[in-house]
């Protein structure tokens, strides 16, 4: 669906590349996460993919067509949720959606339903200047969906949201994937990435260091062991290797005869993998 080959970009007036010779593929119907700290080049990559920035080097193809050759019609097929709110403050939430919906040739979604999906239906007729940042972000998110696009780009979609609304947004993203949408997600939130993405790419200083599924990364960089906590009144902790665990008499005896408090496998977190492979922290 999206294929970038040796993609590079240097901002005008700069002497170093913000995106430096990166290659990746996003398959149809997958959620692809672009992870990295601030200034790593992930937003620049997204801006290139949505054609806010032009004049890149290398190749980017969307459905096998070179991005630089696409016309304005490209925007009928993609939806973009930016990291920062961008609404007309003196228009209501519904007016903002209506005007944007009218720019597309595709049949548009039911706007009140979209607002309801993110809990804004009761605020539909309020000007967005009266909205909190979280409300504006939710409106940002659903505006990307008004024209039912095939490809979606979300930049930090849960930024500024409380846990309940972040959950709503993540459920909608998962539902979009279930409906066959292709989603490009840029974030530095490793929990969101681990939960949502089919595959992730780590980017630091404009370069991709690793691409794989969160599950594979966590398993590959973890330790094949589990920690068992048991005991009645006190907590005793034991570690066991995962190999031939079902034949380990001590383990079998403990889970048969003791009061088990918890069992944890020791796969790495995505954040640990990131730090280990890139040498950088996510900030």
Partner 1 sequence: MDRFTSLLQLDFVLIIRNKILLVATVITSLYAGILQVLPEENFTMVVTTLIFTDPVMLGFLFVGVMVLFEKSGNTLQALSVSPVRPAEYLWSKATSLTLVALAAGLIMAVAGVGIRFHAGYLVSAIVSSSLLFIFIGFVGVSRVKTFNQYFIVIPLFMVPGFLPFLNYFGITETWLWYVIPTQAALTLFIAAFSESGTVAIHETIYAFIYLPLAIWLAFLWAQRSWYKIMER
Q: Which residues bind partner 1 (CB under 8 A)?
A: 11-12, 50-54, 72-73, 75-76, 78, 80, 82, 84-91, 95, 99-100, 102-105, 143
Report, in Å, the least distance between residue 149 CB and partner 1.
Answer: 10
Instruction: Quote the least distance from Cβ 241 to partner 1, whole Å.
Output: 51
Nearer to partner 1 by Cβ, of 18 and 173: the residue is 18
Taking CA atoms, 64 is separated from 91, 135, 185, 219, 225, in Å, by: 39, 37, 21, 33, 44
Q: Which C-beta is closer to partner 1: that of 138 or that of 218? A: 138
Which residue stretches of 153-227 are H helix? 163-178, 190-196, 214-220
Tell me whether residue 81 or residue 214 sits nearer to partner 1 (CB atom): 81
CB of 20 to partner 1, least distance (A): 18
Give Cβ neighbours of residue 246 (< 8 Å, ≥ 6 apart). Answer: 252
Q: Determine the Cα–Cα distance for residues 217 and 282; give it in Å rounded to an integer.
A: 17
Taking the CB of residue 178, how many other CB atoms lie within 10 A of it? 9
- Residue 136 or 199: the one with the smaller Cβ distance to partner 1 is 136
What is the residue whose two structure tokens read 């709110």?
A: 85
Q: Determine the 3-state secondary structure of 61 from DSSP.
A: strand
Among residues 113 and 129, whose Cβ is nearest to partner 1?
Answer: 129
Closest contact distance (angstroms) between CB of 2 and partner 1 is 15
User: Residues near 281 by Cβ (< 8 Å), separated by ≥ 6?
Assistant: 37, 275
For helices 133-143 and 93-101, give the axis angle rounded to 10 degrees.
Answer: 20
Compute the least distance from the CB of residue 138 to partner 1, in Å.
Answer: 15
Residue 148 carries which DSSP code?
-
Give Cβ neighbours of residue 38 (< 8 Å, ≥ 6 apart): 188, 283
Q: Which is nearer to partner 1, 138 or 143 (CB)?
A: 143
**Exposed (0-12), middle (13-18) or buried (19+): which is 163, by Cβ within 10 Å?**
exposed
Q: How far is the CB of 116 from partner 1 (least distance, A)?
A: 22
CB of residue 142 to partner 1, shortest distance in Å: 13
Classify the phi-psi angles of 45: left when phi > 0, otherwise alpha if psi is within -120 to 50, otherwise beta.
alpha
Closest approach of partner 1 to the CB of residue 57, in Å: 15
Judged by beta carbon, residue 78 or residue 203, the one nearer partner 1 is: 78
Closer CB to partner 1, 82 or 274, in the complex? 82
């Amino acid at each position: 669906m999206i294929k970038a080959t040796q993609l590079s970009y240097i901002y005008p007036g700069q002497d170093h590349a913000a995106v430096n010779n990166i290659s990746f593929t996003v398959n149809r119907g997958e959620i692809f996460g672009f992870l990295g700290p601030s200034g790593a080049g992930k937003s620049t990559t997204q801006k290139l993919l949505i054609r806010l920035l032009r004049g890149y080097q290398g190749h980017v193809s969307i459905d096998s067509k070179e991005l630089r050759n696409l016309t304005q019609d490209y925007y009928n097929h993609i939806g973009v949720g930016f990291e920062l709110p961008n609404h007309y403050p003196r228009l209501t939430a519904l007016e903002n959606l209506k005007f944007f919906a009218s720019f597309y040739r595709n049949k548009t979604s039911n706007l009140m339903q979209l607002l309801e999906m993110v809990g804004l239906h009761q605020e539909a007729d309020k000007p967005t200047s009266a909205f909190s940042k979280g409300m504006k972000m939710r409106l940002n998110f659903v505006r990307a969906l008004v024209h039912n696009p095939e490809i979606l780009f979300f930049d930090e979609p849960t930024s500024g949201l409380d846990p309940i609304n972040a959950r709503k947004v993540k459920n909608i993203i998962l539902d979009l994937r279930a409906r066959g949408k292709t989603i490009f997600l840029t974030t530095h939130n490793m929990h969101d990435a681990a939960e949502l993405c089919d595959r992730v790419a780590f980017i630091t200083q404009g370069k991709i260091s690793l691409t794989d599924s969160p599950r594979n990364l966590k398993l590959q960089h973890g330790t094949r062991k589990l920690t068992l906590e048991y005991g009645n009144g006190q907590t005793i902790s034991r570690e066991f290797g995962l190999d031939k665990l079902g034949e380990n008499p001590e383990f079998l005896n403990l889970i048969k005869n003791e009061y088990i408090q918890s069992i944890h496998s020791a796969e790495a977190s995505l954040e640990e993998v990131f730090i280990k492979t890139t040498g950088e922290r996510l900030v």
